[in-house]
Chain A
Amino acid sequence: MNEFFEMGGYGNFIWSSYGLSAGVLIFLVIISVRQLRQVERDLAPLEETRRSFRKRPVKEGATS
């Protein structure tokens, strides 16, 4: 198992490549999801007031 992590002496280079790739991509997924949640949170009250202005009740999904 130790041999696997050493990677013929190049372990440092190989594992930092994999680690950085995973780190950057996971970070990108997390901030993308957080930005989406933020926009959805900001939009919700505005959509609500917009809907309440209308006289007829609007079916789900018909406005967006």
Chain B
Amino acid sequence: MAIDLHKYANPTRFLRIANAIFPWSIVTTVVLLATGLYLGLFVSPADYQQGETVRIMFVHVPAAWMAMSVYSMMAVSSAAGLIWKHPVADLSAKAAAPIGACFTFLALVTGSLWGQPMWGAYWVWDARLTSMLILLFLYLGYMAVWGSFEDQSKAAKAAAILVLIGAINIPIIKFSVDWWNTLHQPASVATMDGPKIHSSILTPLLIMGLGYTSLFVTIFIIRVRTEILGRRLRMLRVNQLQE
């Protein structure tokens, strides 16, 4: 019994903090997304070259940012799970994966819908697009690994190794636009010389980015809670069988 309590001390504290943040993250998400959408659709001007299609950026770029940062967060927490056997680390990565997969899917699809009118093609086998597609497969593979092991601790280990190997793809995505000739435009916000976008378009973009981050936190809290309770459920069922 002592071991049991020790094991669950950490998730309990984690859940207490998560529950305290939760209502705030909902409010922040709603306010940021509403503001971002209003500024992006009504206030910001059309681009002088791309016309109105530039508005696709407000849903495309934040999704792509999240796709990469969620994966990075999963890599860090998977490493923590492997090294320190922290009880929440593996579950955090597991809870984040479907959210990251959705953001990656959206980045690809909205990019495609932006590519057709501007490049004349929904898809090109370009370094940025291809590495993003690989990221989607990494997410899906990660989720499949979790589903294919009966023993959850083995699944956690295999999935963590997959995520860490796949992490090499993150710098490849980031620098793909510099390393290879590509149709995709190079970095325009996070550059050494500061953003290259006018504030009338940059402001809604950053607000949408924060809104997406806040939405991630909200969904993440729901999913981590599900994972922690799910593990407890499995443990209690095993205990019940033993009695």
Contacts from A to B (Cβ < 8 Å): 7-10, 13-14, 16-18, 20-21, 24-25, 28-29, 32-33, 35-36, 39-40, 42-43, 46-47, 49-50, 64
Contact = CB atoms under 8 A, between A and B. Distances in A.
A21 B117 CA distance: 18
B94 interface: no
A42 B63 CA distance: 34
Interface in B73-107: 98-99, 102, 105-106
Nearest to B37: A18
Given A14-B52, A46-B237, A20 B109 contact: yes
Interface of B: 8, 12, 46, 51-53, 55-56, 59-60, 63, 98-99, 102, 105-106, 109-110, 113-114, 116-117, 215, 218-219, 222-223, 225-226, 229-230, 232-233, 236-237, 239-240
B236 A43 contact: yes
B53 A14 contact: yes
Nearest to B58: A18
7 contacts: A13-B53, A14-B53, A20-B106, A21-B59, A29-B219, A32-B222, A50-B236
